[in-house]
Structure formats: C-alpha cells, structure tokens
Chain A
C-alpha cells in the first residue's frame, strides 16, 4: 500500500525501516539552450519491501528519467535538482560516488530497457555476469574462486531460464529475449532488495514480453525484493503490479492499488488511459486521449493536463493541483479537493487541444 505525501512527511524515522524505497519531492531537471526542462517535478512515493510498484505514463512523461534518478544514473545535461531518495533508509541523492557504486547491484539493481544494447558486445556473457560480483567483493572478504564463480553463473542463468552454456557466448549471438534474461541474471546476481525495471519488455514481441514479465515476477518472489516497474503498457503492467502510479508531464497524478485504480480511476487522465485500453468484454469504438502531451519546456499554466482534460474547470488554468490523499490512495486533481466538487466543468468552451483533436 502506498502512503501519500502528507503521511510521509509526518512519518517518523522508524518509518524508514519498513520502506525499501522512499522518494520525496524528487526533481530532475535538464538544462537545455532553450531553458530548463522539468522532466520530473516534485514526485513522492514509497515502496515497501516485496511490493511491486508500476509507474505508467506516455513517453516523455518523465518515468524513465525518474527510474534512472533512483539509480543515481542521471546523466548530463540532467541533474537531480531537489528532493530525497531514501534507499533502505539512506539518502542516495548526496551520497559519494564510491558508496553509491557499492550499493548498486548489492541493494538496488537495474533491468534495462529491452530495446537497449545493454551488454558489452566484446565480452562473453559469463564474464559480464561475474564482473559485477567481483567488483562488489568487500575488502575484508576473500575473492571467490574460479569454480565458485562458474557455479554462480550456472545457477543464475538457470534461474532466469537460460541454458548455462550461454555463458560462453557473445551478446550478438543472443536474441532480444535472451539478452533481457541475461540482464536479469546480472541484476539478481547479488540478491538486491530493490529492482528497477525500466520498460524491460520494450522492442520485444508479445509472447516474449509475457515470458519476461513472468520471469521477473518469479525472481521478485524468490528475492522478496521491491520492484519498480516502468512501462507504458497499462495491460501488461496491471497483470504484474500491486500498486500503480500514473505520471503526466513530470508529475505523479494518481497512485493506488491496481484493483482500485482500474475499478475506479480518479484522475481524468487515468480515466482516459483506462478507457483507451482495448477490451474483449465490451465491444465499443476505440477511444484515444485527445490532443498531445505538452512540451515539457512550455507547460500550460495551472494543471498540465488542462488542454486535454474533459472535466476542466476554470481553476485548472490558474492553480497547480496538490497531491491529495483520498481513500488510502492519492490523486492530484482539483476535482477532489473540495472547492471544485459539484461545480460543473467548462463544457461549452472547448480547450485548444480538444479542438485540435476534433478537427
């Protein structure tokens, strides 16, 4: 279950212990010649040990940027502009490079995007699995022997559903799905308690996507790790996650358990996202979301979703909605903060985005 912002703020230090990952008001900005792009702008959420949290949103909503920031892998021209990321109780935002390096793989691991060439093309798969292990040998430990390492490679490859002989191959000899399994073998090689999976199934075919998600689920259960899954496929994500967070234009607009959100989406954007899912049960016209996501450089005043929102109010053009806890969930929308409740939306005046979509 997700605790909302207010509750987090009031929580005591002991609360840190029970959360594997606590993200607090995180801001990741990109400096570009045209101005600052606020890719992630004040996002907060918590992840319990063993929880599967999925982050969904359109491309460009900042979800991958958020995932990379949690791994502290933000690259120039991006930088973490504010906020905190508590990993097992320790803030990684200002952690020295040496420490963050020892935490990666040991405490948190990344399963990269499926479309990426995340394996070193000139190294054998086995060597790429063990170099992470070798580099995390503590100074007071003796390095593992050759046979121990071989055994470890063997075991890890079997756990991700690969033939152990794959260890001797080079990445170009593997299919996309196999590569992604190798990436998972690397990710679990030191039993981390947080796995960040950044669109792990992108660019894979549908059958392989399902297999990969099943494997990821199996591994998560084995490790009892918390998983942060980033994706844009609501359907795929819903089958995997316990909790879902919806991002729009750099902000988290809704958080809740998967059944709650799918049964009763609060934010108009979430509503539209769920409505746009194809379904076998109800035969209806395919609905999309009108308009385009605004450019992050040039966000509309007020709520970023106002150009596309079907229930837009006059307030939405002035005030940025705060993230509110309701019914154990959270939503950032003026519809739920009391003042707007009951006021009919501006139906007569179509916003520009809707007009564009209607034409």
Chain B
C-alpha cells in the first residue's frame, strides 16, 4: 500500500516520547529535515534523469536520426524558411553535436536540460521552445489543476457515500453510471459532451479557450468568455476523473468497513457521522492519496487529449501540433515539462503522506 521508502514503525519499536511532552512543532521540524525529504528529492532527480536518458538513448539505438533528416529536408525545400532552417541545422549540430562522440552529445543534452533550456522550435523558428511552453502552460494549469483537484474531492466524497453501508439505498443506482464514466476515456467523453452541448443544443463553444477576435485582457467579459470555453473540456476531464476516484474510494470504504476497528466503533455506540468521517473515511482516504501519486500520469495524459479535442491552447494541443509538424525540440521540451511537473506533484504527495498516516514516519527503513 504505502511507498516502500516510507518506513512503517513496527509494534516492537516503542515510542520514546512516552514520558515527556514534546513540542510538536519541533518534532515536525526535526523530522522535516530528516533524511526522508532528501531521499525523496533525490528520487525526483533520478526520475527526471532516467526519463531524459531513455528519451536520449532509445532512438539512437536504432541508428537512425530522423531529426537530422527532417532538418535537411526542410533546408533543401528552401523557400521562406530556408534561411532559418540552415541556422537550425547549424544550431542542431552545435547543440547535439552530430559529429561529436555520443557521450559528449549526451552531456550537452543533460546540461541543457538541467538549465531547462529546450532550444529553438523548428516550426516557429526564431521562437524558443520555452517561450511556446510559457504561452500554453498557463491554460493547462488553469484547466487541469482545477479540474483534477475538484475531481479528487468530488469523486472521493461520492465514493465514500457509495461505499458506506448505511447510505440510502437509492444511492447504489449511481454506481453503474459512475463506473461507466470512469471507463470512458476523457477524450471520448469530450466527444459526447461536444456533440450534445455544442452541436445539438448549441449552448457552449466547442473549440478554443476564448472567442476568436477576442484579445486577452483583464475584463469581466473576457473572463466570462474564458470560463464559457473552459466548461466543456473541464467537464470531460471532471466526469471521467470523478468516476475514477469514486470507484477507488468505494472499494476502499468496503475494505475499511471489514476492519476490526469498525466493529469496535459500533460497539462503542458512536454517532453514525463520527464513524463515517473519523473512522471510515479517514482510513479509506490513505490508499486513495497514495493512488493520487500513481494516477497523476494517466489522468494528465488523458487531459492532454481533451485539449487536443477542444483545440484548447494548452500544452496538450501545442504538443499535438508539434507532433503534426514533427517539431522535435518542441515535443521534447513539452514532454520533459510534463514529466518534471508530474514528478514534482508525486514528490509533494509523498512528502505530505506521513502527515496524514501516523504509521509512516519521515525515517528510512
């Protein structure tokens, strides 16, 4: 269940704090600077490094260099972009050093990554990949973090009620729809929503983040326009993710209710609400939070496709266009950005976890 690197203190290890009262703040701070944090951060670095290395090595194992081919092709094609392409080709050679030995190429690549420098975009040449990412990431953060957070809260709540044996009977009818929602990939759900609300009912816009011709500015009209455009993609991500969390939480609630302490809570004649919140939900939530770290990736890649479907100008859609024009630097930049953000989110969840599960401490096993 828990992460292996988190130590679960066993029964045999007595708490030394049995006698004196310790300052909880001090305890926390000393734990905070204990080695678990450092280790977790090293794991984060390792994750990013492994991902970057895999991306670097695997294609080279094939002996092909489609990047170079693509650049040469563009250069040969000539025309308006030719001047840029020649520079690009030189840039590419200089950066990844086509003529350099592979270990030097690799060192260059990693150094650039460490500086978060992803170079120039092939498709929009004088622009750098970082500029493009900065433009689009705002929209993604706005859309995805809000919806994924909401989905976790709503889904966990719904799942808790669904899995609770004393919930009203009619609630169980919500299970099949939720299961179906969680089974539909987010972008498929997006298709259905788009069809119903944008095409048939014509209530909401079906593409973009704001109406064309509307310039981004801080005005009420523009904000409302942005919100209107965000509703459908947000709902597509939300519905599917709510189902996912609800199903998981329901299972955990069923598990928890089989625990001995739930019988004992009943034997104590506790208030139903207290048993539900402090005993059932509190315990069922723990694996749910661990699952959060693991499921970020799947949920996020699903959300990337929703952006493509709704042509929402976030990272996902930018990635899609970069794929269509084979803009390798941009693709690598966007993918690494997503990987780094995910690894960071996972690290944060892992670091917060010991605060909610007293059995797990900030110590190494």
Contact = CB atoms under 8 A, between A and B. Distances in A.
Given A121-B359, A122-B283, A123-B278, A110 B15 contact: no
Contacts of A170: 358-359
A166 B17 CA distance: 9
A165 interface: yes
Given A121-B261, A168-B17, A112 B278 contact: no
Interface stretch (B179-187, B216-224, B263-271, B301-309): B263-271
A75 B267 CA distance: 12
Nearest to B280: A120
B270 A118 contact: no
Given A163-B18, A173-B9, A174-B11, A105 B359 contact: no
A299 interface: no
B260 interface: yes
Contacts of A102: 269
Nearest to B285: A122
Interface size class of A (residues with CB under 8 A): 35 or more
Contacts of A71: 267
A132 interface: yes
B270 A172 contact: no
Contacts of B279: 120
Contact of B278 (A100, A116, A131, A174): A131
A120 B261 contact: yes
B18 A116 contact: no
A112 B357 contact: no
Interface in A70-128: 71, 73, 75, 100-106, 109-110, 112-113, 116-123
A112 B15 contact: no
A48 B14 CA distance: 41
B15 A173 contact: yes
Nearest to B286: A122
Interface string A51-82: 00000000000000000100101010000000
B142 to A, nearest CB: 34
Interface size class of B (residues with CB under 8 A): 20 to 34
B129 to A, nearest CB: 45
A106 B10 CA distance: 34
B274 interface: yes
Contacts of B9: 172-173
Interface string B250-290: 00000000011101111111111010001100110010000
Interface string A208-237: 000000000000000000000000000000
A135 B265 CA distance: 11
B359 A116 contact: no
A119 B264 contact: yes
A80 B274 CA distance: 26
A145 B155 CA distance: 37
A136 interface: yes
A252 to B, nearest CB: 23
A183 interface: yes
Contacts of A169: 15, 17-18
Interface in B1-34: 8-11, 13-15, 17-19, 21
A341 interface: no
7 contacts: A104-B267, A135-B270, A165-B18, A166-B18, A175-B11, A176-B11, A186-B264
What are the 10 A-B residue pairs with the smallest beta carbon separation, nearest first?
Answer: A104-B269, A116-B260, A110-B267, A118-B264, A132-B268, A170-B358, A173-B15, A135-B271, A105-B269, A101-B269
Given A118-B261, A135-B270, A168-B17, 15 more contacts: A68-B263, A73-B266, A73-B267, A101-B270, A113-B260, A117-B260, A119-B261, A122-B282, A122-B283, A123-B282, A163-B18, A172-B11, A172-B358, A186-B264, A186-B268
